[in-house]
Chains A and B, each alone.
Chain A
């Protein structure tokens, strides 16, 4: 069974600084997708960034980037120039072919003014 592990229940970062959230996963598949979702208090899960496993280049979306290490089954999220609006729960998710997503337990990010 696929499992996604987020070992940091809580993280904090000073505004304008950089923070990295960790995620590891377990799979025997070679073709899959990885995602980071953000869940603010409004409860809606919002896509932050996605990575296709067949792509070696790390995905980047503005201030958000990932460090994808396929052999190590690691998928960390780096947030640069942190803003107050970045405060939320962050979930790492795995999806293989088909549409079932597997989520980690989340990391609560606090941004300190």
Chain B
């Protein structure tokens, strides 16, 4: 039973560029959430997707956008990268309607130079 998988593992981008991160949820899960974890901090909620729509959003600017595909996989896009976007980006999946805990992937380490 595959868990949550994220790609790539590491990424280095230049300020002003755009980046796309990818996530496949755990088998049987239909909801994907994205979190940003800055160095030394806890994860911060970016947004959540269910049925291919953004359902909830945290306090992040519109430069952060996403998408969910019919197979429940998801992408996180960040435009006009800033140095402060450097962080570990975690994808988590769950089952909508059930009070299940989040299952996390190993994250993508994004460095903006």
Contacts and interface: CB of A to CB of B under 8 A. Distances in A.
Interface string A44-59: 1111001010000000
A104 B92 CA distance: 17
Interface stretch (B11-19, B38-46, B62-70, B73-81): B38-46
Contacts of A52: 99
Contacts of A93: 42
Contact of B88 (A43, A47, A91): A43
Interface residues of A, number: 24
A95 B31 CA distance: 15
Nearest to A98: B56
A95 B105 CA distance: 19
A35 B99 CA distance: 12
A42 B106 contact: yes
User: Interface residues of A: mostly helix, strand, loop or mixed?
Assistant: strand
Interface residues of B, number: 26
B33 interface: yes
B106 A103 contact: no
Contacts of A50: 101
Interface string A34-72: 010100001111110010100000000000000000000
Interface string A73-89: 00000000000000000
Contact of A44 (B48, B94, B105): B105
B101 A43 contact: no
A30 interface: no
Nearest to A50: B101
Nearest to B103: A47
Interface of A: 4, 33, 35, 37, 42-47, 50, 52, 91, 93, 95, 98-106
